[in-house]
Each structure stands twice: as structure tokens, then as C-alpha cells.
Amino acid sequence: GSVGGGFISASGIGAAIGVPAAVASAGLVTAGAGNFTAGLQGLGQALSTGGGGRGTHLDRFNGKKPEYQINPAHDPRSPLFNPRKTPLPDDAEAVFRNAVPDHPVNPKNWYGVNTKGKLYRFANSNDGKAHVNGIEGVGDGIRNITDYALRRLGRK
């Protein structure tokens, strides 16, 4: 029968090299299945990484995410509030729940996006905690965001 766009028969390629047609045909079907499986694996990787030619797989941070904390210097209700600091938004803790690190191995900052699409930066305090310390479009805004964080957030 026809396999892979060619014909295999008792007098065809299998017979020419001394291989029965059924064996040659099964070999081509198996090779086709291997290509099909490889295609599925590639599709799975493309879907899991955002696919669509966006680039390669992004490694994931495998450590402990810091705990969210409020830095009183950013809290307008605190006596320690510093008016030169970015004021604490009401949704900062909720945004931090889905924040992503700036690096897959050694993150220094975490970034999240609120329901209105505004980007927040959270600084790692090196004590297992992190606090909001920048908001897109407010004061100094967001500086030094890595390509890794932008890609994890789907912004690049």
C-alpha cells in the first residue's frame, strides 16, 4: 500500500533489498509515528512556553518566594511614611500573590500586574520578605526590570 507518499510492494523497495513488504511498510509507519510524536512534543513545549515563536522555554524559580510585608515608609497611614517613596497601593498584597521573580535562580525583585494592567515592583528585603517599592507611571516608576520578568509577565 501507500505509505509516506511512496509505494511498498512485494516487487518494490522491500523486495529489492530482500526485506518483506510488510516489514518495510511497518518500518515506515513506525518512522512516521516517531515524527508525529516529536511534533506533539514540540507543540506541547510551544504551548507551555507561550509558543507562537516567542522564544525558548523560561526556567522557573525553584526557591521559596518571600512573604509580602508592608514597609511603613511607603504607607501613608504610618507615622514613618516618607513622602518621597511610592505610596502603598491598596491592592499590593493581592498583586504580590501572582508576582514573578526577575531571575530564575537569584531573584532580587519581584514584579506583578494589577487588574488594571499596572506593573508593580516588589523589593526583596533579604530577610525572607518583600515589599512594594515601585509602580509603573508613579514617581520614578519601574526601573531595571529584566527581560526574564517581562517575558514571564507576557509583556515581551
pTM, rounded to two decimals: 0.62
**Same domain assignment for residues 148 and 71:** yes
pLDDT at 49 over 80: no
What's the pLDDT at 46? Answer: 41
58 in a structural domain: no
Calculate the CA 82 to chain-centre distance.
35
User: Is residue 110 within 8 Å of 103, Cβ to Cβ?
Assistant: no
Structural domain containing residue 18: 2-48
60 in a structural domain: no
42 in a structural domain: yes
Question: Is the pLDDT higher at 51 or at 136?
Answer: 136
What's the pLDDT at 64? Answer: 92
56 in a structural domain: no
**Same domain assignment for residues 7 and 75:** no
77 in a structural domain: yes
What's the pLDDT at 126? Answer: 84
What's the pLDDT at 13? Answer: 45
Cβ within 8 Å of residue 69, ≥6 positions away: 125, 129, 130, 131
- b/e per residue, 115-134, with b = 16+ CB within 10 A? eeebbbbbbbeeeeebbbbb
Q: For the chain, what percent of residues have pLDDT higher than 90?
A: 51
CA 72 vs CA 6, 47, 67, 146: distances in Å: 74, 42, 16, 27
Which cell numbers hold the place of 48? 507551555
**Same domain assignment for residues 80 and 38:** no
**Same domain assignment for residues 13 and 71:** no
**Same domain assignment for residues 141 and 98:** yes
Q: What span, in angstroms and rounded, lies between the C-alpha atoms of 119 and 47?
A: 25
**Same domain assignment for residues 87 and 13:** no
> Judging by beta carbons within 10 Å of its beta carbon (0-12, 13-18, 19+), is residue 89 exposed, middle or buried?
middle
Which cell numbers hold the place of 24? 518495510
Please state which of the ranges 15-29, 89-103, 122-136 shows the lowest mean pLDDT: 15-29
**Same domain assignment for residues 24 and 86:** no
**Same domain assignment for residues 76 and 121:** yes
Q: Total domain count for the chain? A: 2
119-151 pLDDT, tens digit each:
999 999 889 999 999 999 988 888 889 999 999
